Structures are given as C-alpha cells and as structure tokens.
Chain A
C-alpha cells in the first residue's frame, strides 16, 4: 500500500461496493480504517501489499473444502484444495499459519476428516487452525470432528490463542438448541467468550473465526447465527475486530463500528447469491469447468501492530 493510496479519502460503502463489482473476478485488497472499508485496487500483479512490513502478521484463510464431495458441481475437491495449497506456497510473504473456517468435510465421515487432515498437513506452515462447519457435525455433534481437529486437546470445539500481538478466537456456531431456528453459539460458549475477552486489552486486534456468518445474511437459508448479536456485543468495545466466516461460498462483508465481518470463497463449489431469484435453496451450483476456478479461492490477511485496519486479498483459484 503506497502513501498516495493511504492519503486518499475513504470511499463510501456504495463506492467501495461499486469498485468490488468492477473488479469482479480479480483479487481485491480491502483496508478497513476507522470502520469504513475502502478498496485499494490491488490485483495479484500489484505487490504493494505483499511488501513485508515490520510487526505485520500475515496469515491465510481457506474455507469450505467439503472433502468427500464428488458431485457434478466439483468432482475433484481434493484437486481444488491442492491448487489452493500451491497458491499459498507461491505467496511472496510466507504466512504464519492458515485458518480454515469450517466444512472441512462433506459428510462428517472419519475417512473424510482423516483425508482432510493429511491434505492440510501438506501446507508448509506451522499450523492450520480449524473451526467446525455444519457438515463436520452431522452425526454426533462435534465429537467426530474433535477426534481429528481438537485444537487444544481439551475436547472443546472453541478456543483462543495469541500470536504477534493479535488475539484469535475460534468459535463453533453450528450448534442446534431450538427447533426451526438458525444455528447458534449457545450460552456455555457465550459465557466462555465473555470470560476469554475479559483478559484482553481493548487495543489488542481481535480476529474471530466462525463458520456461519455472525450476522444474518438470509434467514430462510439459515445464513446467520441465532445469537450472533450477543457475541458482537461482547466484541464491540474493542478497537479492531475482524470476523472471518465461511458457509456461503462467496465474498460478502459488513462493517458495524469497529467490527468488520467477512465471508470467504469455498474451495469446493459455488452457492447462489443470497435469496437468488429462481433458486429456492442454497445447493451447489454447477458451472463450466473454466468458470469454477474463478468462483473458488483463498484469502490472505495482514494485521499490522498499532494499526486498526486489516488488509485482505481475495484471490480466485482460476485466473
């Protein structure tokens, strides 16, 4: 990011969204300053964001690998994940770690979890932090998932850790407590989150990982978290909060005060846009082989200590 870019006045949300639309299919850099995101317009060829900065933490988000899926919408999800891994290895600035925001597997089968764990080990980073998606908790809640992806080894599917001055929180928001509602975090986890954040200074940047968006995007399709407002209320007092979600297989974002929420592309198959006309349900969308790669992708993030803005680059697999 150049000084010239930094000096530009922040765009309005509408202008920013227009920018996003005009760069559809290209990598977009988002900078969140003072709660208002503005696009810097870098494409993959623009290395300004990739310039290493002292005190910066770079990591990568991947999501929705759906290992075990082998239908028409993507008969080779393993191949898609391997392409993403190659992209991660080609990054000029080696990421500290990778986060996977859920739906690691397609059907919660042990062999899918096992295969996914081996594939994720191919990524040359210290660690891959995962949170469960609803496809990872089909038969027995998080029990089967935790046999392969127990973050702290304490049998809980939520956790936190600190790295490079940033506080990371992983949540499980695919729990069901009430008939016919969206999935939720639940009282036990909310109490844990409150206690966890109590020990964090307000100036510490916070990054939250959760599979389903922590804001309601489209309730009829379950694209939201029933008790997300309670989680956001706990996060609101902090100066810089970035929420990274998956689940909807497309990039959307929302900013609420100092809390910026971003959904990510999948590495398996596209889904319709929220409530898309003519499509009554959030099922896999089949596109041509050439188009598929443009709708799947990875995200690089950079957090710079002392700054509230987090830079994001969304890069499609197919370019």
Chain B
C-alpha cells in the first residue's frame, strides 16, 4: 500500500488519471443501470384462456415473459413465426426479446381464439 502511495507521489499524473477513471465509472454505472432498466422484462399472464395483457407496447430490446396460470396448456406463437413457444404447462414461462420495431400478433396454437399483440416502438 505504501508502495503505491509513493508511486502516485512520484507520478502525479497517474493520480489524476485514476481520479478521472473513477469519475468516468461513476457516471457510467448509472448509465449501464438505465440501459438495464429500459430492457426490463414485461410480464404477460395467461389466465382463464386469455392473454391478460392482450395488447402491450414496449421499446426495442424489451423481453416479454409469458406465464401460464391455467391448468390447461397454452402456447405463444407469432403469426409471422418470429417466435413460438413449446406447450406451457401450469406456471411454465416463455420469453422473447423484441429487437425490431413492429406489431407482432400472436395466438395460442392450442386455442387459436386466444390472441394478443406486442407493439414494439422506440
């Protein structure tokens, strides 16, 4: 420890550089955190043969997590085939991260009268 102090004393510029680095990290950390926040997971429950949040709007990068709350199996399948789950038993989840903007219609292939849509916009 004493050795490094003496090293900074011998090279004041190093101390400045380290201080700057700390400042940069200090600013960057909340920024990283903010990115993580904008990529938050959004939950959609499947309950009583309905997508509880039938229509949602999210930012690109958002991960949508569907959870089946019924005793009957359901699926989540995009009509453009961009995502498709396996059969979800009770409390099984399926997630998909939406990277592109657009409107994504989906159904439960077991019960095709069950429909939902994810709008992805900046």
Q: Which residues of B contact A108 (CB under 8 A)?
A: 87
Measured in the bound complex, the distance between the Cα atoms of B112 and A206 in whole Å is: 30
Whole-angstrom CA separation of A259 from B71 in the bound complex: 35
| A222 pairs with B86, CB closer than 8 A | no
**Distance between A285 CB and nearest chain B CB, rounded to angstroms:** 10
* Contact string against A for B residues 73-99, beta-carbon threshold 8 Å, 1 for contact and 0 otherwise: 101000100000011011000000000
Interface residues of A in 280-298 (CB under 8 A from B): 280-284
- Say what secondary structure dominates the interface of chain A: loop
Determine if B49 and A281 form an interchain contact, defined as CB atoms under 8 angstroms apart. Answer: yes
- In the complex, whether A306 has a CB less than 8 A from a CB of chain B is no
Q: In whole angstroms, what is the CA distance A284 to B90 when docked?
A: 13
B107 near A180 with CB under 8 A, answer yes
Report Cα–Cα, A178/B112, bound state, in Å: 8
Could you tell me the distance between the alpha carbons of A282 and B115 in the complex, rounded to whole angstroms? 16
- Contact call A71/B71, Cβ cutoff below 8 A: yes
Knowing A283-B70, A283-B72 are in contact, say whether A71-B110 is a contact too (CB < 8 A).
no
* Residues 228-275 of A contacting B (Cβ, < 8 Å): none
Q: How far apart sit A283 and B50, CA to CA, in the bound complex (Å)? A: 12
Query: Shortest Cβ distance from B104 into chain A, in angstroms?
Result: 12
Name which residue of chain A comes closest to B50, CB basis: A281
CB of A18 closer than 8 Å to a CB of B: no
Please state if B73 and A135 are interface contacts (CB–CB under 8 Å): yes
Of residues 289 through 317 on chain A, the ones whose CB sits less than 8 Å from some CB of chain B are none
* A138 pairs with B87, CB closer than 8 A: yes
> Is residue A148 contacting chain B, with contact meaning CB distance below 8 A?
no
The answer to whether A182 has its CB under 8 Å from any CB of chain B is: yes
B98: min CB distance to chain A, Å: 19
Query: B48–A283 contact, CB under 8 A?
Result: yes
Q: Is B43 an interface residue, CB under 8 A from the partner?
A: no
Chain A residues near B79: list those with CB within 8 A: 179
What is the size category of the interface that chain B forms with chain A?
20 to 34
A221 interface residue per 8 A CB criterion:
yes
Closest to B107 in A: A179
Q: Are A71 and B90 in contact (CB under 8 A)?
A: yes
Q: Tell me whether B45 is interfacial, beta carbon within 8 Å.
A: no
Report if A183 contacts B (CB, 8 A). yes
Which chain A positions have C-beta within 8 A of B90? Answer: 71
| A236-B11 Cα distance, complex, nearest whole Å | 98
Does A211 reach chain B (CB closer than 8 Å)?
no
Say yes or no: A179 contacts B73, CB within 8 Å: no
Query: Given contacts A71-B90, A108-B87, A179-B105, is CB(A135)–CB(B110) below 8 Å?
Result: yes
Q: In the complex, which residues 181-233 of chain A have their Cβ closer than 8 Å to any Cβ of chain B?
A: 181-183, 219-222
Kindly list chain A residues whose C-beta atoms are within 8 Å of the C-beta of B63.
Answer: none
On whether the beta carbons of B111 and A134 are closer than 8 Å, the reply is yes
Chain A residues positioned under 8 Å from B112 (CB to CB): 176, 178-183, 222
Q: What is the CB-to-nearest-CB distance from A278 to chain B, in angstroms, rounded to a whole number? A: 12
Question: Which chain A residue lies CB-closest to B92?
Answer: A107
CB-nearest residue of chain A to B85: A139
> Is residue A100 contacting chain B, with contact meaning CB distance below 8 A?
no
Min CB distance A74 to B, Å, is 11
CA distance A192 to B69 in the complex (A): 39
For the complex formed, measure the closest distance between the CB of B36 and the CB atoms of chain A, giving whole angstroms: 33
A221-B87 contact given A138-B75, A281-B50, A284-B72, CB 8 Å threshold: no
> Chain A interface (Cβ within 8 Å of chain B)?
71-73, 106-108, 134-135, 138-139, 176, 178-183, 219-222, 280-284
The 30 listed contacts between A and B (C-beta, < 8 Å) are A71-B71, A71-B90, A72-B71, A107-B73, A107-B87, A134-B111, A135-B73, A138-B73, A138-B87, A139-B75, A139-B86, A176-B109, A176-B112, A178-B112, A179-B105, A179-B107, A180-B107, A180-B113, A182-B113, A220-B113, A221-B49, A222-B111, A222-B112, A280-B48, A280-B49, A281-B49, A281-B70, A282-B49, A283-B70, A283-B71
